[in-house]
Amino acid sequence: MGKTATLGTESSNHQFPVVTGSVGPDVIDIRKLYAETGMFTYDPGFTSTASCESALTYIDGDEGVLLHRGYPIGQLAEQSSFMEVSYLLLNGELPSKDELAQFETTITRHTMLHEQLATFYRGFRRDGHPMAIMCGVVGALSAFYHDSTDISDPLHRKISSHRLIAKMPTIAAMAYKYSVGQPFVYPDNSLSYTGNFLRMTFGVPAEPYVVNPVVEKALDRIFILHADHEQNASTSTVRLAGSSGANPFACIAAGIACLWGPAHGGANEAALNMLHEIGTPDRIPHFIERAKDKNDPFRLMGFGHRVYKNYDPRATVMQQTVREVFDALKVNDPVFEVALQLEEMALNDPYFIEKKLFPNVDFYSGVILSAIGFPTTMFTVLFALARTVGWVAQWNEMISDPGQIGRAHV
């Protein structure tokens, strides 16, 4: 008999099986708790609860570790492309050269949108937030692609997944173009996934657009860093929406809606605004004191994390990427110097040491995105674009295993 855990109530003792995962802490399987004891558990934030079984992503917040299918995020960001990481998340293994080429061809073939969707965009106000537009357009895809929505068929799931990953850059770029009043730019399948997105966003039909390889690599890396992050709020939303058998495009629209909230996807914008507000290094001590003051609601944005109580491994990669982008674009924005000095001062301050507050992924990502030319309203859109692969991989994993349905009584 395997390991068990005993729960003692006032009247009796109950044994529950203990499940050991491939990595991380053991888990007490309490599925029979209510039947045996008539009691529920109370853990609304799922701080001690595994909501599902997943082989995709593992986080050890105390050690600052993030693994995708067993590979450390730093290694993937250094050595792989976003397409490789997408393949890894979807299929469980990194692709061979041929498999990658085949995957890239498949994704490339799905980058165009149904032409009717261009008309759909015109129904939005020009000053609508691009996340609002993205949420609406992705939901609307469910009214456009009817040939692949039998979610019990693995091939249909695969086609829907590929469509979502492929069309998201086109949708995001169109949302941007619509807001600035420029014509939509159609995909160019000779470019990489990320190069194509840059061209659709910043290119105009009047002149050729040359993709800057440093910017392309930096953005590709940002996509890798945001590809998946375990059972966070938006991923749990996608899983729960999908557990009723809902249309895949509608499920991803639900994920986008959840991601939009400032507590989830909006923190890099807040971090960048804070760095601008600080403005010069001599003002940093004043803001550090404010962050420590219990009577002041100000917090250091881009610092601290619900899970990471160590340096967020994604922040390390980001810091290095800022330097590369600034050098390549010859940007001399004082905001980076402020960020570096703020980080150093906070990391040496007893308040931040004691509370285990370290820079998170959002501390530097806004600085990079702004240097590339994205307005802050696009930051969360880019997050959604990248996270789509995580969402569809998690959704696929759940549907493949009927035991994983979020809540069986619908």
Q: Which residue's CB is nearer to ligand CMC, number 203 or number 366? A: 366
| Among 168, 200, 300, 389, interactor with ligand CMC by CB under 6 A | 300
Q: At closest approach, how far in Å is the CB of 82 from ligand CMC? A: 18
Q: Does residue 147 carry a catalytic annotation?
A: no
How many residues of this chain interact with ligand CMC, rule: CB under 6 A?
17
Rounded-to-integer distance, Cα 50 and Cα 140, Å: 32
Q: Does residue 14 carry a catalytic annotation?
A: no
| Among 244, 355, 400, 401, interactor with ligand CMC by CB under 6 A | 355
Q: Which residue's CB is nearer to ligand CMC, number 140 or number 256? A: 256
Among the residue ranges 136-144, 148-156, 163-171, 359-367, the one whose residues contact ligand CMC (CB under 6 A): 359-367
Q: Are the beta carbons of 376 and 370 closer than 8 angstroms?
A: yes
What are phi and psi for residue 406, nearest 5 degrees?
Answer: -50, -50
Among the residue ranges 63-71, 151-159, 358-366, 397-405, the one whose residues contact ligand CMC (CB under 6 A): 358-366
Q: Are the beta carbons of 225 and 353 closer than 8 angstroms?
A: no
| Among 269, 305, 342, 395, interactor with ligand CMC by CB under 6 A | 305
Helices (H) and strands (E) in the chain, counts: 18, 6
Residue 315 binding ligand CMC, by CB under 6 A: no
Residue 365 binding ligand CMC, by CB under 6 A: no
Rounded-to-integer distance, Cα 238 and Cα 384, Å: 12
Q: Which residue's CB is nearer to ligand CMC, number 111 or number 365? A: 365
Handedness of CA 128, 132, 138, 141 (dihedral sign): negative
Provide long-range contacts, Cβ within 8 A and 24+ apart, for 112-119: 112/167, 112/170, 112/186, 112/187, 113/167, 113/170, 113/171, 113/174, 114/144, 114/145, 116/144, 117/141, 117/144, 118/174, 118/184
Residue 169 binding ligand CMC, by CB under 6 A: no
Q: Which residue's CB is nearer to ligand CMC, number 16 or number 374? A: 374
Catalytic residue among 110, 226, 229, 305, which? Answer: 305
Residue least distant from ligand CMC (Cβ) = 304
Which helix (H) or strand (E) is 404 found in, with range?
A: none
Q: 78 to 137, contacts with ligand CMC by CB under 6 A?
A: none
Q: At closest approach, how far in Å is the CB of 267 from ligand CMC? A: 3
Burial 72-108 (b: 16+ CB within 10 A, else e): ebbebbeebbbbbbbbbbbeeebbeeeebeebbeebb
Q: 190 to 229, contacts with ligand CMC by CB under 6 A?
A: 229
Query: Where along the sequence are the contacts to ligand CMC (CB under 6 A)?
Result: 229, 264, 267, 291, 299-306, 355, 357, 360-362
